[in-house]
Structure 1
Amino acid sequence: MQALKRLIHFVLRHWPETALLSAALMLAVAHGFQSFLHLMPCTLCLKAREVYWVAIVLAVVAIVLKRTALGRKTAPWTDLALGLVFLFGAGLAVYHAGVEWHWWPGPTTCSGSGGGGSSAAGVQDLLAGAKAAAPACDKIVWSFLGLSMAGWNAIVSLKLAVWSFIAAANEPKTGLLK
């Protein structure tokens, strides 16, 4: 139990670094699925990646600020901002999962139609340098334990948001709840 308490304390004390590593790991996993399993991202998948890029930039800013005189004053606010970014990512992932389960329609950019290579004209377009159309957002191309990548992304993003808010509230001497 003491080891768990020490781990939690360490994570909270080094939250921007942990958030940075978590966001980078999520991007690495997404790119791994794309590169090694050849699962091309849909439009909403690419939007989800943008959330992690924003989190990485914000975490780097938080890490840099932490090493300045402003560090103590800005730490809870950067943690809060990270929480809001991850919460937005969780909402986007829930929306994407709902599109996959056909609970609501997705954006028109997620139709998966367009310059594919199924017709002779489509193949000709690809040979001329046109990009293949992104897959439709309402198709589940991979799942584990009944959850798609969007579902897992929602869980991870929500977890990261909660940790961010806890870190913001517990910053030593300057936490938002102090």
Structure 2
Amino acid sequence: MKFNSKYLPPFLSLSSAIALLSIAYFLEFFLNLIPCDLCLQQRGVHFLIILASIICIVSINFKKINTLLDFLIIILWFTSSVFAFYHFGIEKKFWSGFSSCTSKINFNENTLNNILSTDTLRCDNPQFEILNISLAGWNSLVSLILFTIYISLLYLFKKRKQ
């Protein structure tokens, strides 16, 4: 059985998103790194990439649908990169995040109750870094690389057909 090269971009996308989510869940459940709100939202983008990649693989012979899904996957990888970079910027104090994600506290009568009822961590305090880059920073870099690879593969395969 010969592997058709048009399957490569969505398979790469699918396997990469699964790998990124697997790492995130491993860190959460086995190393007890609790995700913040932005971390959880970034996972949602990766789940959408998985869904779009599976549909793209299944509908590989339907050119119009497949082209639309390729475009969607490209947008999702770019969104993942931008979103993770935004999170990285909050962690490095380049800019402030939304109010539920940063440590700026406005004390009022419900402040203590709100703090005690919150299960997630602040987004501006990374728990884990590799080479002084947080996991959000690495996610941004990897997502940007995958965005570039996906576009490059589609361009190469399209050029090869001509």
Specify the TM-score bucket, using the shorter chain as the normaliser: 0.7 to 0.9
- Helix, strand or coil at the partner of 1:106: coil
**CA distance 1:92–1:25, change in 2 (3 Å):** same
The residue number in structure 1 matching 2:94 is 103
The residue number in structure 2 matching 1:142 is 128
1:38 Cα deviation (Å)? 0.5
Superposed CA offset, 1:144-171 (max 9, x none): 1111000100011101111121133233
- Helix, strand or coil at the partner of 2:157: coil
* Percent identity (aligned): 28
Match of 1:60 among 54, 67, 76: 54
TM-score normalised by the chain length of structure 2: 0.82
Match of 2:82 among 73, 91, 97: 91
- Helix, strand or coil at the partner of 1:104: coil
- Helix, strand or coil at the partner of 2:22: helix
For 1:99 and 1:39, locate their aligned partners in 2 and report how far apart those are by CA, in whole Å. Answer: 18
The residue number in structure 1 matching 2:142 is 156
For 2:17 and 2:98, locate their aligned partners in 1 and report how far apart those are by CA, in whole Å. Answer: 25
For 1:142 and 1:39, locate their aligned partners in 2 and report how far apart those are by CA, in whole Å. Answer: 8
1:12 Cα deviation (Å)? 6.8
**Amino acid aligned to 2:57:** I
The residue number in structure 2 matching 1:41 is 35
For 1:152 and 1:11, locate their aligned partners in 2 and report how far apart those are by CA, in whole Å. Answer: 28
Superposed CA offset, 1:127-157 (max 9, x none): xxx6x42100000110011110001000111
Q: CA RMSD in A?
A: 2.8
For 1:64 and 1:171, locate their aligned partners in 2 and report how far apart those are by CA, in whole Å. Answer: 18
Superposed CA offset, 1:50-97 (max 9, x none): 11001001001100111x3x1x44444422221110101100011000
Match of 1:81 among 48, 60, 72: 72
Structure 1 spans left out of the alignment, 5+ residues: 1-9, 115-120
**Deviation beyond 6 Å, 4+ runs, structure 1:** none
The residue number in structure 2 matching 1:17 is 11
Aligned length: 153
TM-score normalised by the chain length of structure 1: 0.75
**CA distance 1:112–1:31, change in 2 (3 Å):** farther
